[in-house]
Each structure stands twice: as structure tokens, then as C-alpha cells.
Amino acid sequence: MTTPDCYACGQEAGFDDLPPRECVAHDEHWRVAHAFNTAVPGWLVLLPRRHVAAVHELTDAEASALGMWQVTLSRALRSMTGCTKTYVVQFAEAEGFAHVHFHIVPRMADLQPEHRGPGVFELLRRPEQERVSADGADQVARSLRAQLRGRPNAQ
Ligand SMILES: [Zn+2]
């Protein structure tokens, strides 16, 4: 079910020991992680629990859960960050990241015009000093868990 050289599968293989930022929440089909290379607090990545390389390969059960996760996570991010809305984006083109992953990105009211829409990806793959720290991402993860508590799909 896992694929060598796949970052997401590597994390899944160590599931029981993942820090909060790598497993903000999960169900049997999906795992939610905080992006590790972003400058945006709350930039989430929603990953299938098995290696899937294209959206059309998802099962019906995975697809049903996907819709709930996208909306539930968007609500939690809005509660936590006050974002105007969320971006939901799926490409899976970066090397080592062919595993389907949906970016769920809080779109803040003051986001610079050049970073709106596809330009938001300039806030990913940032130099290390600009990124949300591991500790910061763990804190975001704990806050999100509190928002998700009691909701369907929540851990
Ligand atoms: Zn994979």
C-alpha cells in the first residue's frame, strides 16, 4: 500500500509516532498534516492513508470522506485564524510528492495581491527562517484539534 521514495507514505509508515503537526487529525481514509515548508500558519495538507497518485483513483468511500474533510477543515481554519475563506488545491506534481494531497490554505483578508490565487504557492517551499517552525506547527495542530473536537471525522 505504500510506495518507496514517497514522503507521505514514509510518514504513514511511522503513523503511531507522528508529532501533532504531521497528524493534526485523521480517520481511516485521510490524514491531515500541517505543511512543513510554508510561511502560512494553518496551511494544511489532506492526504489519503494509502498511496494514490491521481484523484480518479480514490474509492467512493475516500471521496465521500474527502468532501467532509475539506469543509470541516475550512470551518476550523476560519474559526482559528479568522480567514476570509480557504483555498483548496490539488496538483501532486512536486518531485517526491506524487501522492495525492489537497492543500487547504487559510486565505487571510490582508493576503498580498501577488499571493492571491495560484500566487499563494510562493508562500510554500520558503527558506527555513521564513517557515512556520515545527513548534509553531504543533501549536496550530493542537488549536485545530480543539476546534475539530466533537465534529464528525474528528480524531
Ligand atoms: Zn505515497
Strand order in the sheet with 85-90: 25-26, 30-34, 44-48, 102-107, 85-90
Q: Please report, in tens digits, the pLDDT of each residue of the chain (155 residues total).
A: 567 689 999 999 999 999 999 999 999 999 999 999 999 999 999 999 999 999 999 999 999 999 999 999 999 999 999 999 999 999 989 888 899 999 999 999 999 999 999 999 999 988 999 999 999 999 999 999 999 986 654 44
**Ligand 1 centre distance from Cα of residue 22 (Å):** 14
**Ligand 1 centre distance from Cα of residue 36 (Å):** 17
**Ligand 1 centre distance from Cα of residue 2 (Å):** 6
**Ligand 1 centre distance from Cα of residue 129 (Å):** 28
CATH label, 7-148, candidates 3.40.50.150, 3.30.428.10, 1.50.10.20, 2.40.160.20: 3.30.428.10
Q: Which of 73, 67, 103, 106 has the alpha carbon at shortest distance from 88?
A: 103
Q: Can you give the residue ranges of every domain in the chain? A: 7-148
